[in-house]
Structure 1
């Protein structure tokens, strides 16, 4: 399984009236063929900016690519012309956005909207494109596809509209599918259906997926690996089992502790204290230090490197330094870890989906 995407030392800033916002500060990750990588973190952590930079969709008037490279099949996207990118967007790399209603044109039938990328990138005839659209509508679970083809977005429910957006993204069989919080605007029942649909589609078309979410609870059902973002940096990365069963970064502990549980009768919902850092003036040391009850003096003075826990698991916290004091995860994290381990399934997906 080879690498299809590599992001190396990515730095991106936004120029605002208040000053330069250092939104992405040295992000590194890779995506393998046929795998799902989930990027999780609070709002403002840099998830969407990172993935929009892959599509080159950041606003030109105030965003600045400062350093780094984004290698898609070995070619650096940051050095491509807009004309070259137009051949990649929608065909090689597609994106599903958060709100399906703002992604769809209310004046066009859904059939015509799904046909657009097929006519542009695949050069199909209108008859061939229509046939392919009906196949796609059936693939994403929309019944009576021939009738639905002629209908408008307002005639679809929220969950069905999201399925249409997924069909548009899949039209050209992209090698990478970026899903930017695709279930946030949906109720929990539809949310679970869309997650299951994406999991099923990946098996059928073998595309690589980057799944962005602020909710760690949804990733166990879809992800192979998880990257945890905070303050414009990736602070922990590992397989889904490593992140859920053996989290190492205090921020990951906070995310796991704050996951709601339906069977917790008197359990108080945990909230990470404080607020994310001001990226107009990023902290000198660890960005999470001000909110970390286990922070040491060095956390305020120097950014931690990525410490290796296993061949697939890394975390940027000084608690992993050989000279650091031994710190155990909080009780709330241990409870959830035990709950995951007690599941009959080998993965935490059933429990987590039940709690979504």
Structure 2
């Protein structure tokens, strides 16, 4: 597979009255054609800021790209003007936001909100665009699309509104679809339907997807690769099987240990102690060290590099250094991994 997107050492800060918040601190990853990459982490880890930066949607003037490159088909999006990004946004790279109600204009019919992009980016006339809008609504599973195309957002349920937002994002056949917590506001049943829809879209259109979430279990059966973020950095990245069955970073251990499984109903879930660091003053060494029961002395003074576990798997923890003591993952995490393997499902789905 060829690389569609390359993010290199991206650093993003926000200038506030209290000082500079270092939201993204040297993030690097690739996205291949037709691939689904999940970016996972707690609130405040920098994953949504990363996705907004890719879209050129950082709030100005507070949000600033300090350094780094975002290479899309070989061109650096960081160097693009707002006018140039408007031609890319929606047409080449689209985004599905967390709250579908705030993403839709309550005063406009659903059809018109899809038609707008088709006329602007695809050069269709209104009749062609309406026909395409009905096809898109049908594609994302909206019943009676020829009727629903003339209705308003308040006439749709939460799950249906999210399907409409996905239809809008797909209208111009984008090469990359960024989904920022698209299922958080939905109940479990609807959540599963939206995840299945996104799998179908990826399979049918070969669109590359970046899936942003705080929940490893949500993306376990959707993503091809997973990047785990903490305190503005990617601390582990690999295939889904790498991260679920052979996790190496203590933070990933914590995330996996906090996930319920069908085989461990009576077992107490693991809780990561403490809170994420203050990004106004990030820690000098490993940002996760204060919450890490396995932290080494070096973690307090020096940031770990990305250590290679395999050709597809990397993790930033001093525990992977050749001179580090041999420390195994907690037994509770190991039991959960065994439970995932036994059921053939991850995240207890």
Question: Offset of 1:239 from its aligned partner?
Answer: 0.0
Distance 1:57 1:280 in 2: 22
Secondary structure of residue in 1 paired with 2:173: coil
State the match for 1:78 in structure 2. 78
Q: Secondary structure of 2:310's partner?
A: coil
Q: After TM superposition, list the pairs within 5 Å mapping 1:221-236 onto structure 2.
A: 221-236=221-236
**Residue 114 of structure 1: SS of its match in structure 2?**
helix
Matches within 5 A, 1:131-280: 131-280=131-280
Distance in 2 separating the partners of 1:265 and 1:316? 32
Q: Deviations over 1:105-152 (max 9, x none)?
A: 000110100111101100101110011001000100011000000110
Cα pair 2:260 2:347 within 8 Å, conserved: no
Distance 2:253 2:109 in 1: 46
Q: Which residue of 2 aligns with 1:123?
A: 123
CA RMSD of aligned residues (A): 0.9
Q: Structure 1: how far apart are the matches of 2:287 and 2:219?
A: 24
User: Secondary structure of 1:294's match?
Assistant: coil
Per-residue CA deviation, residues 302-340 of structure 1 (Å, 9 max, x unaligned), is: 000000000010000000000000111111210111112
Q: 1-side partners of 2:265 and 2:299: how far apart?
A: 36
Distance in 2 (alpha carbons) for counterparts of 1:299 and 1:189: 42
The yes-or-no answer on 1:341 pairing with 2:336 is no
Q: Distance in 1 between matches of 2:167 and 2:10?
A: 30
Query: 2:33 corresponds to which residue?
Result: 33
Residue of structure 2 in register with 1:327 after alignment:
327
Kept in 1: contact 2:4–2:72 (CA 8 A): yes
User: In the TM superposition, what whole-angstrom CA distance separates every residue of 1:219-273 from its partner, at most 9, and x where no partner exists?
Assistant: 1121000000000000000000000000000000000001123443321122110
TM-score under structure 2 normalisation?
A: 0.99
Return the alpha-carbon distance in structure 1 between the equivalents of residues 74 and 61 of structure 2: 28
TM-score by length of 1: 0.97
- Name the CA distance, whole Å, in 1 between partners of 2:347 and 2:272: 20
Paired with 1:239 and 1:340, the residues of 2 have a C-alpha distance of: 15
The answer to whether the Cα contact below 8 Å between 2:253 and 2:329 also exists between their aligned partners in 1 is yes
Q: Which residue of 2 aligns with 1:352?
A: 347
Q: How many Å separate the matches in 2 of 1:141 and 1:271?
A: 38
Give aligned pairs, total: 349
Q: Where does residue 42 of structure 1 map in the other structure? A: 42
- Post-superposition offset of 1:91: 0.2
1:353 positional shift: 6.0
* Match of residue 21 from structure 1: 21
Paired residue secondary structure (1:352): coil
1:63 maps to 2:58: no
Q: Mark the CA change 1:107 to 1:353 in structure 2 (over 3 Å): closer, same or farther.
A: farther
SS in 2 for 1:309: strand
Greater shift in the superposed pair: 266-275 or 105-114:
266-275
Give 1:307's aligned residue: 307
Any stretches of 5+ residues in structure 2 without a counterpart? none
Q: CA deviation at 1:352?
A: 2.9
Which consecutive aligned stretches of 4+ in structure 1 deviate over 4 angstroms post-superposition? none
> Structure 1 residue 39: deviation in Å?
0.1
8 Å CA contact 2:285, 2:299 repeated in 1: yes
Task: State the SS of the aligned residue for 2:27.
Answer: strand
Unaligned runs of 5+ in 1: none
